[in-house]
Structure 1
Amino acid sequence: MKKLIPLEEGDFYLSKEGYKVFTEKYHLKRGYCCESGCRHCPYGFDKKTNRRA
């Protein structure tokens, strides 16, 4: 089971459509890439090529 990480200020923002967008800070705190093509992925995953840079 994956560990729940409590959200803190600066971990996300709301897009103009109302979606929660996680920041690079949150991804680094989480500690791994989920391979979902996140907008602020610090691990370099590219959903188009399905690879990490």
Structure 2
Amino acid sequence: MNALVRSGFSIELVDAFALSIEQIRESQALTEELERPMMLLVSSRRSDADLAIRSA
């Protein structure tokens, strides 16, 4: 995420996707997934003004 910010992007949303407790109960092999999110979703946007400045 720091690389996005350094490149002129602004972070709009961060969401950590994780399995539900019910899903983990169904498959005990997934217990380790409780330690960290399965996926990290990041939404970012680069402004047109920033693009114009960097391309000049």
TM-score, shorter chain, exceeding 0.5 = no
Q: Which fold has the larger relative contact order, with Cα–Cα distance below 8 Å and residues 6 or more apart in sequence?
A: 2
Q: Per residue, is there more strand in 1 or in 2? A: 2
Structure with the greater alpha carbon radius of gyration = 2
Q: Which band: TM-score by shorter chain?
A: under 0.3
Q: What TM-score, normalized to structure 1?
A: 0.27
